Structures are given as structure tokens and as C-alpha cells.
């Protein structure tokens, strides 16, 4: 799996401050898609195995509730 972007201080995608992982690849191809470059499953960089353990997902949890 590839990822398109990781935002570690994100307030646009839900309440509170959170870490957001944007993965690559989509089959919907919506007419008004704001992220067309990430439609390709090969876009971005490989998500390394060490991140899949949850360490990335828990990055901001200790300081800010989300």
C-alpha cells in the first residue's frame, strides 16, 4: 500500500487535532475530486511495515484528544 500524504497536525478532517494518513488509490473517480493525483494506486511512497503496527496512528494521542 502507498500513501499520498501524512499530516501530523490536522484540523480539517474531524474535530480536534489529529494525525491523518492519506492512502493512494481510488476507483470512484468522482467528478469533483480534489485529490486527482492520488487516484493512482502507485502514487506516493510505500507505507513501510513499521508504521502498520499502529505507532503512526497513535502519534498525537498522548497530548491532544481528537
Let me know if residue 61 belongs to a domain: no
- CB neighbour list of residue 36: distance below 8 Å, 6 or more residues apart: none
- CB neighbour list of residue 2: distance below 8 Å, 6 or more residues apart: 23, 24, 25, 41, 42, 43, 44, 45, 46, 47
Let me know if residue 58 belongs to a domain: no
Q: How many domains does the chain have?
A: 1
Let me know if residue 21 belongs to a domain: yes
Let me know if residue 66 belongs to a domain: no
User: At residue 58, does pLDDT exceed 60?
Assistant: no
Parallel, antiparallel, or unpaired: how do β-strands 18-23 and 45-46 relate? unpaired
Look up the pTM and report it: 0.62
Dihedral angle computed from the Cα positions of residues 36, 42, 48 and 51, in that order, rounded to the nearest 10 degrees: 30
pLDDT at res. 18: 85
Cβ atoms < 10 Å from Cβ of 22: 14
Domain that holds residue 6: 2-53
Let me know if residue 23 belongs to a domain: yes
pLDDT at res. 19: 85
Let me know if residue 47 belongs to a domain: yes
pLDDT tens digit sequence for 9-57: 888 877 888 888 889 999 998 999 888 999 999 999 998 765 555 555 5
**Model confidence band, residue 63 (pLDDT cutoffs 50, 70, 90):** low
Amino acid at each position: 500500500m502507498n500513501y499520498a500524504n501524512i499530516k501530523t497536525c490536522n484540523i480539517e478532517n474531524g474535530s480536534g487535532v489529529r494525525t491523518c494518513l492519506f492512502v493512494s488509490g481510488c476507483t470512484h473517480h468522482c467528478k469533483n475530486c480534489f485529490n486527482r493525483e492520488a487516484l493512482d494506486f502507485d502514487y506516493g511512497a510505500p507505507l513501510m511495515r513499521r508504521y502498520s503496527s499502529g505507532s503512526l496512528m497513535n502519534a498525537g494521542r498522548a497530548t491532544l484528544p481528537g
